[in-house]
Amino acid sequence: VAAVVAAAMASRRGMRVAAVVAALAVLAGAGAAGEAAQARQTLVVVESENVRKTHSQYLAKLGELASKSGGAVDVKVASDPTANLKELEEWSYDSLVLLAPTLTALGGDSLAETVTSFVDEGVARSVILVGSTEMSSEVRSLAAECGVAFTTPNGNVQDHFHYQQKSGDQTLLESSNYMQGNVVLSESAKKAPLLWRGVGQYVDPNNELAFSAIRGYSTSYSLPAGSSALTKDLKYSGEATSLVSLVQTRNNARVMVSGSMDMFSDAFFSGGSSNARFCEDVTSWVMGYKALLRAEGLKHRLVGATESQDVYRIKDELTVSLVVQQWDAVLQKWLPFKANDMQVELTMLDPHLRTTFQQNKEGVFEVPRMMLPDVYGIFKFVVDYNRLGYSHIHLEEQVPIRPFRHDEYERFIVAAYPYYSGILSVMAGFFVFGLSVLYTK
């Protein structure tokens, strides 16, 4: 035991640094992620010069959102040789918007491979991917890499009941089947239906990283191009049809996948639809301007103490605290995050303790009193907060726990009273026996 504790103490500071570095690697809100959210450099690749005109309002909104946080937006045509995410083997941008469904390559390399590397190699990167009935296989593959499957073969989603009546086009859907909650979408974005025309998607319900921002109805289905009859595959029918899909990866990169170019167009932004507000909300979420969290200062100390210790003793009572903040794009600063379901675990292979944080007046999450278990070894404090729409927070802090030293036990232990009485009775019996032998004939 002494050897284990000594080794743990020797590597304590190194482990603490390692834990912090590991946490920063997965926290969207921590360190680099927070800074990236405040000043993002965004590359927008459009199909042609005509898209600049037909989607001018959305492009203007992108620029407005970026400028508020000190970022910038570069809009380039797909045929432009300078439309590249990398320069001198370094990533030049934090975010990518692809309004070019037929695009097959970016910077001379495969589109799917380039964008996948872009997402995997950074912290809290952002990608908006838009497909259409003419989308390339690379766009389809890129969506599949993110866990979103486009309809096969290409074909528009149709609905005989939920379409724009005045147009008579049953592929021009009016959907109000929005996701629950207001983490991603504000209430104002849900007041009117979304105008949408394009290719549907499917998100596996068992996929923990992907979810749908808006779905079709039970009467919606995807009809293959050039076909007049439904196929037997109902995978892309009903409410399983996702119109706009969102993904948050394990390194807190965010991706939006839509099969409708028209959804972002100036024509669909008018006429009483919610397209303008909906696109602003999902873009703000993908870019990290909303629902972005960062955690810092996971601290533990003895109750009543001010500093943490390298090693604790079994049955010590600790106070555990954590600071979690949320980025406010309006005020352009970090504010205390409010929640009542954030928990901390003390684990050694399996959780030994699990308790819910309380939030004090300063917004700090705190467990005022936690008694360590009567088990010694190398434990970890673990905070794993994973809620739909919010950044994933995962923090670990190793804590060695030692047993009592020989001089730390109580002088008289209650559990040993039977043994004490046994010894005393033997001594008393021996004394009586001695007297009887000496003074009796």
Q: What is the pLDDT of residues 293-337, one digit of tens each?
A: 999 889 999 999 999 999 999 999 999 999 999 999 888 899 999
pLDDT tens track for 388-428: 999 999 999 999 999 999 888 887 888 888 999 999 999 99
**In the structure encoding, which two tokens stand for residue 225, read together?**
């191009």
Instruction: Concatenate the DSSP letters of all residues of 216-247 into one string.
Output: --TTEEEPPTT--S--S--TTBGGG-EEEEEE
pLDDT tens digits, 256-306: 999 999 999 999 998 889 999 999 999 999 999 999 999 988 999 999 999
Quick check: 225 pLDDT over 70?
no
Residues 132-152: pLDDT tens digits? Answer: 999 999 999 999 999 999 987
Q: What is the pLDDT of residue 112?
A: 96
Angle formed at CA 104 by CA 98 and CA 106, multiple of 5 degrees:
65
Pairing of strands 312-313, 393-402: parallel
* Residues with Cβ within 8 Å of residue 42, at least 6 apart in sequence: 62, 66, 71, 72, 73, 74, 93, 94, 95, 96, 97, 126, 287
Pick 223 or 2 by higher pLDDT.
223
Dihedral angle, C-alpha 59, 65, 69, 75, nearest 10 °: -10
* Residue 123 near residue 29, CB atoms below 8 Å: no
Closest Cα partner for 289 from 183, 210, 179? Answer: 183
Q: Which two tokens stand for residue 303?
A: 């109750």
Supply the pLDDT for residue 228. Answer: 60
- Contact at 8 Å (CB) between 200 and 215? no
Q: How far apart are CA 49 and CA 64, in angstroms?
A: 20
pLDDT of residue 57: 97
Give me the sign of the Cα torsion angle 222, 226, 229, 234: negative
| Cα 129–Cα 195–Cα 388 angle in degrees, nearest 5 | 55
Whether residue 129 contacts residue 147, with contact meaning beta carbons closer than 8 Å, is answered with: no
Q: How confident is the model at residue 192 (pLDDT cuts 50, 70, 90)?
A: very high
Q: What is the pLDDT of residue 36?
A: 44
> How confident is residue 230, by pLDDT bands cut at 50, 70 and 90?
low
Average pLDDT taken over every residue of the chain: 88
Q: pLDDT band for position 17 (50/70/90)? A: very low
